[in-house]
């Protein structure tokens, strides 16, 4: 079974059309050219995959997630809180 982190990398790669090998915890979303619409799609896919709700405001001008690691950590935190 794939780890939560690996599954998130797969979702980010698929939804943002980013080569999987470019994804690592320190990779900045803006450096990967992941735009706000991509982030919304990524969040929806993660919520569906893990059956969770991620606190994210798409209307907020300031991006809440700067790196792939921030996304992973936020998802892990929500999963822990819901179990």
Place of tokens 């982190």: 5
Could you tell me where the DSSP H helices lie in the chain?
Answer: 4-16, 36-50, 68-82
Model confidence at 1, pLDDT cuts 50, 70, 90, reads very low
Q: Which helix (H) or strand (E) holds 2?
A: none
23 three-class SS: coil
pTM score: 0.87
Cα separation of 63 and 40, whole Å? 11
Q: Which domains does the chain have, with CATH numbers?
A: 4-82 (1.10.1200.10)
Phi, psi angles (nearest 5°) of residue 54:
-100, 125
Phi, psi angles (nearest 5°) of residue 61:
-65, -30
**What are the pLDDT digits (tens) for 49-60?**
999 998 776 666
């Amino acid at each position: 079974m794939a780890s939560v982190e690996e599954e998130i990398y797969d979702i980010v790669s698929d939804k943002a059309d980013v080569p999987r090998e470019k994804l690592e915890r320190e990779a900045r979303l803006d450096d990967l050219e992941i735009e706000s619409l991509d982030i919304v799609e990524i969040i929806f896919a993660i919520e569906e995959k893990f059956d969770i709700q991620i606190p994210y405001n798409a209307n907020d001008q300031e991006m809440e997630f700067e790196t792939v690691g921030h996304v992973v950590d936020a998802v892990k935190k929500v999963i822990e809180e819901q179990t």
